[in-house]
Structure 1
Amino acid sequence: MANSSQVQDLLRFLTNDAKLSLTVSMGKIKAFQSAELVTVAAISSTKIDVLKPIFDDEKQAKQVLAAAKRITKKRGAGDDTPASPVKKKKQKFMPGEVLTPAALEESLELPEACRSEEELSHSSVFTNRAPLVLAFAVTLLKYTMPEQPLSSRLSLAQAVVSANSRTKAVSIGLESGKSAEEEGWGEGQPSVRVMGREIKVLRRWGYHADVREEQETQGSVTAVGDEEEKGPPLWGIDLESMKKKESGEVGGRGHGSGGSDLPICTPQSARTYLLKAFETQPKVPEEMHQENESAKKPKIKKETHASRMADKERNLSMLLGALELLFESWVDSLNTKELDRRAWSWYVRVRPDVESGVAGWGGKGIVPLAEILKLRREVGVGEKVKVES
């Protein structure tokens, strides 16, 4: 079985070098794996009769073989580096660097969740709706798909946000026409349901095995999921990016993890969005009672960029803590399907109030964390439940 990096390298070769559409390429990955043709060198050294059964069109088979031979000749025999190599940066976790699986997960770590009920009940965040959906989805997936690594949870959650934003933009008249999903982009790809929405996904075969091997090499004992029992980690596919790329539109090139050009919702962008999205409610300075014209207004201490980012990170920490407490209260009494179904209704109850229509697009409002805590399942006499289904 090919590891995750080999699968992504193969997809890059098929789309960039062999000039196949992404949809066709993704549909052929399993066939290439079964034929043990997961590298450019292996493909270039095979015969056309081996490739023909993989493709319905003999022309495509010849196209792929010719591309593989051309690239192998350029690189020199025996060099099995990716067809579209990405140079690694010397400094760890530099933007654009191809990270190992364990390093990728480490680079995506979110602030530790604050779980102090006393503190949460007196706190709030100031934000717009999209990042709140993202925070809900990322946290929900810890309980409905615990086998998924953080990189996958971020990608899947971002796919939910993107799909919802597209739907909302159409409903208020900011965009028109059919979405990529409605036009059939990604058809045939597997899908999962997150917060009530079907998300097309790309399987990351071998990823857990890569993490496990790396951890064993480093002497780590961190547990990882078993793909055979739970299925492989997933990427959320960015269907709009896929549509734009294959239609030749400007800006349609997807940006996958570690420099991949696969049309996925990248975990890095989702993490950055979370870290920047949750502000403290702006304070309006009170004017001093002026007894005469010489009275002065109070001075406001100017915030630095670092202090603002630290404040946002703290707010994210508290929001994640409130959401964890919410989902943990229900996880033992609801199955994953029902927990996913209710998550959207809980989000609707606490989302910030904004103006309707175009005027409210991107509008921000206050989210009291106490309102999230009120949605928890209350265990006591008669197993009283706060939220009705």
Structure 2
Amino acid sequence: MTTKTEIQALLRFLTQDAKVPLPTAMGKVKELQGKHLISPEALSKTSITVIQSIFPDEKQAKAVLAAAKRVSKKRRAGEEEGPSPIKRAKHGSSLIGVEQDPASLEESLRLPNVNDYDISDETLSTIKIWTNRAPLVLAFAVVLLKHTMPSQPPSSRLSLAQAVVSVNSRSKAVSLGLAERGAGAEDEGWGMGQPSVKIMSREIKVMRRHGYDYNEADTLASEEGQMMKSEDAKQENADTQETLKQENGVSDDEPALWGLDLEALRSSKSSLVAGGQRPDGAGLPVYSAQNVRSYLLKSFASPQDKVGAESTPKKRPTAAAQRTEKERNLACLLRALDILITSWVHVLSRDELDRRAWSWYVAVRPDVKDGVAGWGGKGEVCLEQIVGLRRKG
């Protein structure tokens, strides 16, 4: 049985040496335990294929294996463990090689929509998904921000939502004794003086994207998959957004924001410099919208995908079929959340809506074991329960 100390050491290795984002690292603990890969030594002796079965992202899997071999070699040589000699790859931060203009960037971040799959709202109540809690919080935050901060582009919403997940994961890790209290980057003063916003009752440090220019009406049409091309349709979207801004007290003067990755900022040991920002945030210690989108796309399986479950199909779906199913499930989840939040947006203030969102999440999140045993655990989420929380009448 894995001890709490071993889990703490594993998380330190993944986040500090392998540069895996904390929420991702925490979500992989159970899988690593199942394969008896709870130390750098054990990881260094396994194959990249095994590691990639846990960390599907090839680049991340290679980073974990390389870090495991490096740390194991140091320990065998009797060297004192220290910071990785390789410059940190800014976990969870943008490192995109090709610069995109705002319109192209926002289009590339489009999330699946139920209209892509011809799924009716009535069908949503029959759908169940299989996931863990972190990506569900992420989906909640992304949809919530569309209503509470409508002036923010999709790239900002994704980045801000990931910041919520990271703050929440850090808090949970401390409460379970998996992370040391007061050892986080924010506790050490990183990000001090930076502006902050409150999302789902969490204070999030942000970085302003001054000068980021995009067309909100075009973005909304693309994001929601409506394929609205006429000027009338664009104007209707713009009018809707203006109404939401006025009702929720959101200022048009607020620039687009990035969710600030304080751990990346601490690792870089540099100060934030305003101006000269690339549209995708590359090179900055911020949560990458592209990475967040990729995480969402692969996080929502169907219950029959449970390994070892009686309901597992005799013939396992192909990787392509599984990807399509996960994207379809994400589209359904986002639509269910939008139905819920839209029903309350004209009744609750922005702050009330933000506070209420956390209680809605708690009401529908998957059931897992208490304490450390449930860390990263998965369970069913019934979309019927989400839709059932919508305002009646």
Question: With structure 1 as the length reference, what TM-score do the two structures score?
Answer: 0.63
Divergent runs of 4+, >3 A? 219-228, 255-259, 283-287
The structure-2 alpha-carbon separation of the partners of 1:228 and 1:326, relative to structure 1 and needing over 3 Å to count, comes to closer
2:260 corresponds to 1:260: no
2:203 corresponds to 1:198: yes
For the Cα contact (< 8 Å) 1:96–1:258, is it kept in 2? no
1:169 Cα deviation after fit = 1.1
For the Cα contact (< 8 Å) 1:352–1:367, is it kept in 2? yes
Counterpart selection for 2:194 from 189, 193, 197 = 189
The structure-2 alpha-carbon separation of the partners of 1:365 and 1:211, relative to structure 1 and needing over 3 Å to count, comes to same
Query: What is the alpha-carbon distance in structure 2 between the residues aligned to residue 113 and residue 286 of structure 1?
Result: 29
Query: What is the alpha-carbon distance in structure 2 between the residues aligned to residue 196 and residue 235 of structure 1?
Result: 18
1:357 Cα deviation after fit = 1.4
Structure 2 counterpart of 1:198, one-letter code: E
Query: What is the alpha-carbon distance in structure 2 between the residues aligned to residue 302 and residue 257 of structure 1?
Result: 40
Query: What is the alpha-carbon distance in structure 1 between the residues aligned to residue 337 and residue 137 of structure 2?
Result: 11
Counterpart selection for 2:324 from 307, 310, 313 = 310
1:229 Cα deviation after fit = 2.8
Query: What is the alpha-carbon distance in structure 2 between the residues aligned to residue 135 and residue 342 of structure 1?
Result: 15
For the Cα contact (< 8 Å) 1:128–1:352, is it kept in 2? yes
Query: What is the alpha-carbon distance in structure 1 between the residues aligned to residue 252 and residue 99 of structure 2?
Result: 28
- Which residues in structure 2 correspond to 1:304-383 (within 5 Å)? 304-379=318-393
1:171 Cα deviation after fit = 1.2
1:262 Cα deviation after fit = 0.7
1:28-71 Cα deviation digits (max 9, x unpaired): xxxxxxxxxxxxxxxxxxxxxxxxxxxxxxxxxxxxxxxxxxxx
Counterpart selection for 1:229 from 224, 227, 252 = 252
Counterpart selection for 2:162 from 158, 161, 167 = 158
1:359 Cα deviation after fit = 1.2
Question: Aligned to 2:204, what secondary structure does the other structure show?
Answer: strand
The structure-2 alpha-carbon separation of the partners of 1:139 and 1:286, relative to structure 1 and needing over 3 Å to count, comes to closer
Question: Aligned to 1:229, what secondary structure does the other structure show?
Answer: coil
For the Cα contact (< 8 Å) 1:201–1:234, is it kept in 2? yes
Query: What is the alpha-carbon distance in structure 2 between the residues aligned to residue 139 and residue 365 of structure 1?
Result: 21
1:117 Cα deviation after fit = 3.0
Task: State the Cα RMSD in Å.
Answer: 3.0
The structure-2 alpha-carbon separation of the partners of 1:130 and 1:99, relative to structure 1 and needing over 3 Å to count, comes to same
Query: What is the alpha-carbon distance in structure 2 between the residues aligned to residue 149 and residue 299 of structure 1?
Result: 40
Query: What is the alpha-carbon distance in structure 2 between the residues aligned to residue 231 and residue 299 of structure 1?
Result: 50
Query: What is the alpha-carbon distance in structure 2 between the residues aligned to residue 267 and residue 199 of structure 1?
Result: 16
Moved more, 117-126 or 258-267: 258-267
- Structure 2 gap segments, 5+ residues each: 1-94, 220-228, 243-249, 271-276
Paired position in structure 1 for 2:103: 102
The structure-2 alpha-carbon separation of the partners of 1:351 and 1:96, relative to structure 1 and needing over 3 Å to count, comes to same
1:257 Cα deviation after fit = 6.2
1:11-30 Cα deviation digits (max 9, x unpaired): xxxxxxxxxxxxxxxxxxxx
Query: What is the alpha-carbon distance in structure 2 between the residues aligned to residue 116 and residue 211 of structure 1?
Result: 29
Question: Aligned to 1:367, what secondary structure does the other structure show?
Answer: strand
Query: What is the alpha-carbon distance in structure 2 between the residues aligned to residue 332 and residue 211 of structure 1?
Result: 24
Q: Compare relative contact order (CA 8 Å, sep 6+) and give the higher one, 1 or 2.
A: 2
Paired position in structure 2 for 1:111: 112
Query: What is the alpha-carbon distance in structure 2 between the residues aligned to residue 139 and residue 205 of structure 1?
Result: 24
1:228 Cα deviation after fit = 7.8
2:148 corresponds to 1:134: no
Paired position in structure 1 for 2:152: 148
Counterpart selection for 1:282 from 274, 294, 304 = 304
The structure-2 alpha-carbon separation of the partners of 1:228 and 1:173, relative to structure 1 and needing over 3 Å to count, comes to closer
1:116 Cα deviation after fit = 2.6
Query: What is the alpha-carbon distance in structure 2 between the residues aligned to residue 362 and residue 276 of structure 1?
Result: 15
The structure-2 alpha-carbon separation of the partners of 1:190 and 1:360, relative to structure 1 and needing over 3 Å to count, comes to same
Question: Aligned to 2:177, what secondary structure does the other structure show?
Answer: coil
1:307 Cα deviation after fit = 0.2
Paired position in structure 1 for 2:179: 175
1:316 Cα deviation after fit = 0.2
Question: Aligned to 1:366, what secondary structure does the other structure show?
Answer: strand
Counterpart selection for 2:295 from 266, 273, 279 = 273
Query: What is the alpha-carbon distance in structure 2 between the residues aligned to residue 257 and residue 123 of structure 1?
Result: 37
1:173-223 Cα deviation digits (max 9, x unpaired): 221142222222111111111101111111111112x558x99xxx99657
